[in-house]
A and B are shown apart, each in its own frame.
Chain A
């Protein structure tokens, strides 16, 4: 017999529980399904939740402490990347001073959205890799191209083990007079463009960035690039509920890598009073 009341279904008599107080926490659901997300999240190997001593291939995996968007654009002298300082715990703004931009070697910055503990692990493996390369003393240095290739292989290997690193990564760099900007995600998908964005930014900021940058990659100055990113971060702060008005910008050019201190966005909220329909207003 099935001992889980959850699986018994609703009582036949609707009058028995008119206000739906019967403890059925999970009702049969017949709405649309996100087969893709379900597939990725459900088929991880791991340990059963109901019995932690039993290995199971049906454990529900999900990111826990997450970062939201990372934005990056190419400009005249190199590449610029921006990410806010928030790591959310679900919808709770849990950590507000997290740096999501990470320098690797002398030429590369990697920015991460998604699970922050997985990102910390990525920072660790890249540190190990860097030291291995340094101690080789062969005169070669890791550039953005190599880091991108390495990360894409790591991400794809992990998804193939049904245990992905839950991140979207942007990799930006400048080496040997060449700009580099690319994207890698938890499935090992890669692509490259003159503007890139992860997370909510891929929907909200990407069109803005494309409009501002495409075709003008060799014209936009550092100040203009900074302005474009700041404006996009502001729009994201207004529209993305998992964002923060505190962010950092990484600049990668022939002068090397520099990651700024945290900056505050100036925002206006006076329009909020005029919004009708919910909140304290009565008319």
Chain B
């Protein structure tokens, strides 16, 4: 961070002499400080999982959810500033409502993430705003089948088979690459997702975390729903077991 103090990092509307926008990079730092969020696009659906770091024992279990429902068939997991994630979900729901009003059909994940990315990009242009401090994973099942997209603070929007953002994304990506995602079933994906979240958490043992997991696809009747409790518990215990053999 030799650039600190040069003055080029004070505004998103100014490039540094070597062509970077520091505010966007700082926004990415905010993302990196947050618990990992992953998404798996598999054969018949999408699974989203989040390592939600619990910063206080006084919090009610299940509070401050980081996976949200956008529409019946679309879910969203965010990594970064929680409140920015909520703003993104609000924008996304409004978009769903607009599309439904104009076209009388549910919006697609692609159209949604494209649209949200335009908003995110606009926030990299002006000195009066700061870029969103979140990377957002949009997952859902629409007329084109299961889809998974990430929108980054820079406004970049890309589709993935396996997506990982947040603190443990590097390790999560390596693990995701080992899987044959397009051949997995949703249930298998739930097991893998839990395993990966437990694995990437291992490095910072000091903090408690909650595993948040939802899915959309055949198993959930194409609705974005939390993974059923019994399956979640099974996934957790398997993940813990896998962790011991991994080490």
Contact = CB atoms under 8 A, between A and B. Distances in A.
Interface of A: 124, 127-128, 131-132, 134-135, 137
B65 interface: yes
A21 B72 CA distance: 63
A131 B101 CA distance: 13
A135 B70 contact: yes
A135 B97 contact: no
Contacts of A135: 68-71, 89, 93
21 contacts: A124-B100, A124-B101, A124-B104, A127-B100, A128-B97, A128-B100, A131-B71, A131-B72, A131-B93, A131-B96, A131-B97, A132-B93, A134-B69, A134-B72, A135-B68, A135-B70, A135-B71, A135-B89, A135-B93, A137-B65, A137-B69
Contacts of A127: 100
Nearest to A127: B100
Interface string B76-114: 000000000000010001001100110010000000000
A135 B97 CA distance: 12
Nearest to A120: B104
Given A128-B97, A137-B65, 16 more contacts: A124-B100, A124-B104, A127-B100, A128-B100, A131-B72, A131-B93, A131-B96, A131-B97, A132-B93, A134-B72, A135-B69, A135-B71, A135-B89, A135-B93, A137-B68, A137-B69
Contacts of B68: 135, 137
Contacts of A132: 93
Contacts of B70: 135
Interface of B: 65, 68-72, 89, 93, 96-97, 100-101, 104
Contacts of A137: 65, 68-69
B227 to A, nearest CB: 14
Q: Which of A127, A128, A132, A137 has the most CB of B within 10 A?
A: A137
A124 B105 CA distance: 11
Contacts of A124: 100-101, 104
A169 to B, nearest CB: 21
Nearest to B90: A135
Nearest to B104: A124
A66 to B, nearest CB: 22
A135 B93 CA distance: 8
Contacts of B69: 134-135, 137
A127 B68 CA distance: 19
A134 B220 CA distance: 14
7 closest Cβ contacts across the A-B interface? A135-B69, A137-B69, A135-B93, A134-B69, A131-B71, A131-B72, A134-B72
Interface-centre pick from A131, A134, A135 (highest chain B CB count, 10 A): A135
A135 B68 CA distance: 7
A161 to B, nearest CB: 20
A134 B74 CA distance: 11
A123 to B, nearest CB: 10
Contacts of B93: 131-132, 135
A207 B101 CA distance: 41
Contacts of A128: 97, 100
A128 B100 CA distance: 9
